[in-house]
Structure 1
C-alpha cells in the first residue's frame, strides 16, 4: 500500500463511497474506469501528493468498498456525475481538478459540463469527450452487431457477462488488462474482446501472457482480483446498461462544449482511439481550451499504469501551467 495513504468513507448522493486520500494543497480528484479501482492511480497519487496537491481517488459507484445499488437505473450518468459533486462537497466544498480514465473520463466530462463551479480544470485519459449523438446508441448497436458482437451491446443482457467474468475473476481481469494493453496488442493484434465472433463468449477472446508485464505486477493483479471478489461485476457492468438511458436524459447537452482547460492523454495502441476516431479528431473543436493532446507511443488503454512516469509528468506540467496562468490573471 502507498505510504501515508488514508482510507476514508463519505455518504454522498445516497450511497456510502470509499476513497483514498493523500497530500495537502489544491484538490485533485482521480476517477477510474472499467474494470479497475482507485488503485489504478497508485503512481499518480504519490506523484501529485509529493508535488503539493491533495489527491483523492474514489472507488466509484458499484466498485470495491463503495456501495452498489440494485437498480440498473442507479448507474446512469446523472447519478455518476452526482457522486463526484457530492464527494467534492463532502471533502470541504473546495472546487477541484477532475481527472478521469476510461469510463471515469466520460463521467468527468459530464460532471465538468454540468458543474463548472465544482470542476475548474479537466484531464481525460484514453476516452476523448464524446458529444451527444443525434441517434440513440441502441440504433448504433443494431447496425454494428449484425455479424459480430460489440462488447457494449454484449453487456446489455442481464447476468450473462457477470457469470462469464465471475467464473474465474483472476483469469478474466488478467485477460482484459493484458489484451487491451500495448503489450497485448503487439503480442496478438488479431485478438479483440471489443468485437468478437457470435459463436464465442467475450472471455474466449482474451490474450493471456506467459509472464506478467512489468506494469502489472502480481501485487497489483491480486489487489484488483480481491476487489472484484468483494464487489462482483454487476454494479460496474450496469454503467454500460445505461448508455441508451444516458442519451435520453441528456438532450439538453446537444451541442455542448467543454469550457474548462483540459488535458488529453492516450496510448498509441489504445483501441478507443479507433472506436472514437471522430471524437479524437474533433477534440479541439469540442474542447476549445484543450491545452495538450498527448499520444504516448507503444502504450495501450491502461495508460496511467502502463506509462506511469510519463502520465504523472504530463499531468503535473499541465497543472503547474494552469496554476501559473491563474496567478498571472490575478
Structure 2
C-alpha cells in the first residue's frame, strides 16, 4: 500500500513560457536523468511506484505534471497543447537541469508525447520506454478523420474535438465517480456500448472490475482534477490533427533503443508493425489492463530495470 505522504514534494519550475510542477527522486544521481511522462486523466503521482526503484538503481528521476495538469500552468488556447509545446516543455526541462539528453518514459498520452518528442528532437532522447500506447503510424489521412471513419463520431477522441466542452462539463460534474470508475482492474470484457464511453463511465453508478488503487491514492487524482477541471488535459486530444501536420516532415523512424510494455488486457491494440518504425525495440507484455505501472508496479519495475541494465551492458 502506497501512502501519498511518501510522495516527494514538488518544485514549480518555469520553462517554455509555462510553470511545471515537478517531482524528483535521486537528485544525488545527477548525470543519469530519466523523465517520466504521465497519461490522461492522470498525474505525476501515477509513477509513484517507479520513482524510488529508479532512484535506487542510480537514476535522477524527474516527473513533471505536464501542462494542463495539477499545479502546472493551464493555458487557455487549445493550440498551446500541441506536440510542439508539449515536447518543448520537456526539452526546456532538460535545459533547466543542464542535461544534453535523457531517457524518457511515457504511459498512455505520455507515450504519445515521448514518441513525438523523439521524432522532433532525436538528439535529446537517448532511450525510450513506453507503456500502453504504441507508436502511431502517421498514415495518409489525418488521425481524427481516420478515427471517425473507423470508430464513429461517439468515439471519445472524436467527441472531444467535435463537441468541445460537452464531455469536460460531464466529467467535472462527476469527477470522483468518473475517476473511481476508470481506475479499475480485472474489468470483464464486454462489447462496446452505444454512446460516448467516457461520459457514460462518469455517469455509471456501479463500477466494473476491482479498484486498482486505495481510496487515499484515488484522492490524489480526484483533488487534482477537482482543482483544475478537465479542459486543459482534454485539449491534448484537440490537437490530434495539428500534431499530424506538425509531424509531416520528420523522419518517421525512431532509432533509439526502445522498450514497449503492453498490458495484455488493455483495449488499446498492439501494433504488429512496430519494428518497422522502431527497429531497436524490445516488446514485453504483462497480464494486466491499461494502467500498467500502477496495476503491476513490481513487475513493471523489474522489466524496466532489467532492460536499462541490459542497455548499459550492450
TM-score, with length taken from structure 1: 0.87
Cα deviations across residues 260-304 of structure 1 (Å, max 9, x unaligned)? 00000011011112xxx4xx10111110111x201112x000000
**Deviation, structure 1 residue 8:** 1.0
**Deviation, structure 1 residue 94:** 4.1
1:88-99 superposed matches below 5 A = 88-99=94-105
Alignment of 1:272 onto 2:268: yes
Partner of 1:294: 284
1:1-330 superposed matches below 5 A = 1=4, 3=6, 5-23=8-26, 24-25=28-29, 26-146=32-152, 149-156=154-161, 157-178=163-184, 181=185, 183-184=186-187, 186=188, 189-190=189-190, 192=192, 196-198=193-195, 202-205=198-201, 208-209=206-207, 213=211, 215-253=212-250, 256-273=252-269, 277=270, 280-290=271-281, 292-297=282-287, 299-325=288-314
The separation in 2 between residues aligned to 1:226 and 1:205, in whole angstroms, is 19
Structure 1: gaps (5+ residues): 326-330
Cα deviations across residues 155-207 of structure 1 (Å, max 9, x unaligned)? 112210111101120001111222xx4x12x2xx2265xxx424x67432466
The separation in 1 between residues aligned to 2:113 and 2:221, in whole angstroms, is 21
**Deviation, structure 1 residue 10:** 1.1
The separation in 2 between residues aligned to 1:175 and 1:209, in whole angstroms, is 5
TM-score, with length taken from structure 2: 0.91
The separation in 2 between residues aligned to 1:94 and 1:21, in whole angstroms, is 18
Structure 2: gaps (5+ residues): none
Q: CA RMSD in A?
A: 1.9
Which segments of structure 1 move beyond 6 Å, counting only runs of 4 or more?
none
The answer (yes or no) to whether the contact 2:55–2:61 under 8 Å persists in 1 is yes
